[in-house]
Chain A
């Protein structure tokens, strides 16, 4: 429905009055992005970009919390170092 990719704001310029734009860097690929929908974002912030516009500012805390909860689930259900085997043991293909 909507491909949107996280990138880091590397520069903000005024653009047309009322339509702020900036440069967002995606691991070495940079593109001009409309920032009208993330008024609170500043240089160094990560934003999610869709069709040339930042549609959301990434909440670092939420991201870390999500990962922490998953690691907690792992450590609760699998004693240290015994998480389920990695793919090699998996049969190559089953029809979906």
Chain B
């Protein structure tokens, strides 16, 4: 066979499994604990409360402009830890690989993970690979877990937003969702829009150092609208957004008009939304805009006392409407 592919035997645990780890994973993800090839990594953790998260990644296609499933897996896990105010330290990664997947694909994914981990300053310390018959895994699924420590005094949670807080988004909306859907065959539109997938732990650390942040979350699936509805509910505050302050790239706006999407519901993978004490908002914004992933940060609204648990939008023409959670799937529509 011209191109070497994964076969069921790669998942048997025998010689081919070891060869797979040594030839594909270790060259890219060769951290000290991983090289020991033990069944568990043993780690010493700095003091402070532990933050722990897990995630699964099934994006299709596996590669898209601006990123791939490997980079997405590391960044998604790192960002979840960062939203708890934690410093991400160690990650695990488990792969469910479909029989017939070219080895080069797995190598590219491992390389994507290694680059993202290096950028975030985290180490992948333990992993596993299983192989399933052709047709039962759509190429590749990746699951991760991550641990980090929360330094004393940090208390960031979805319940802590307060009326008067300013709502900041760290950059443009909808880039990831549109980049992925435009790479999917069948919708056939071409665009330069790239996914924003990025590790935000350093950005979050800078944000926390420059002002009082009450709540923080990465608006991934379901988009900003869903995330804000979650926080508004947890904190029982209202959120009033300004449509003309929402940073959205022209190409993303155009793609959303074409497909009938509302950009507020399109996924992001390299953004944070933060509820910041009003007195610190200028300082936080200034700091963010000096950072690579915060250059387009903007104040997009404020937390208000009423209506409790709801998100409202002041539209471009000055009217107001409710912004609900995403219901169902985002599908291209004609009417």
Interface of A with B (CB < 8 Å)? 1-3, 5, 7, 26-32, 49-51, 86-87, 90, 92-93
Contact = CB atoms under 8 A, between A and B. Distances in A.
A5 B320 contact: no
Contact of B334 (A3, A86, A92): A3
A27 B189 contact: no
Nearest to B249: A28
B188 interface: yes
A3 B254 CA distance: 13
A29 B251 contact: yes
Contact of A86 (B192, B240, B260, B318): B318
A16 to B, nearest CB: 16
Contacts of B55: none
B304 to A, nearest CB: 8
24 contacts: A2-B334, A2-B335, A3-B260, A3-B335, A5-B257, A7-B254, A26-B254, A27-B253, A27-B254, A28-B191, A28-B193, A28-B251, A29-B190, A30-B190, A31-B188, A31-B189, A31-B258, A50-B334, A86-B318, A87-B318, A90-B320, A92-B312, A92-B320, A93-B307
B190 A93 contact: no
A3 B312 CA distance: 24
Contact of B189 (A1, A29, A51): A29
A32 B187 CA distance: 10
A28 B250 contact: yes
Overall SS of chain B's interface: mixed
Given A3-B334, A30-B190, A93-B312, 15 more contacts: A3-B257, A3-B260, A3-B333, A5-B254, A5-B258, A27-B253, A28-B192, A29-B258, A30-B191, A31-B258, A50-B334, A87-B314, A87-B318, A90-B318, A92-B312
A2 B253 CA distance: 18
B125 interface: no
Interface in B294-335: 304, 307, 312, 314, 318-320, 333-335
Contacts of B182: 29
Interface of B: 182, 188-193, 240, 250-251, 253-255, 257-258, 260, 304, 307, 312, 314, 318-320, 333-335
B318 to A, nearest CB: 3
A54 B244 CA distance: 29
A26 B192 CA distance: 12
B334 to A, nearest CB: 5
Nearest to A49: B258
Contacts of B320: 90, 92-93
Nearest to B315: A87
B254 A29 contact: yes
B314 to A, nearest CB: 6
B265 to A, nearest CB: 16
A-B residue pairs, 4 tightest by C-beta: A87-B318, A28-B251, A27-B254, A26-B254
B335 A1 contact: yes
A50 B333 CA distance: 10
Contacts of B319: 87
A6 to B, nearest CB: 9
Contacts of A92: 240, 304, 312, 314, 320
A26 B193 CA distance: 13
A29 B190 CA distance: 6
A32 B188 CA distance: 8
Q: Which of A1, A7, A29 has the most CB of B within 10 A?
A: A29
Contacts of B312: 92-93
A5 to B, nearest CB: 5
Nearest to B322: A93
Nearest to A26: B254
Contacts of A2: 334-335
A29 B188 contact: no
Contacts of B307: 93
A24 B279 CA distance: 47
A93 B319 CA distance: 9
A49 B254 CA distance: 12
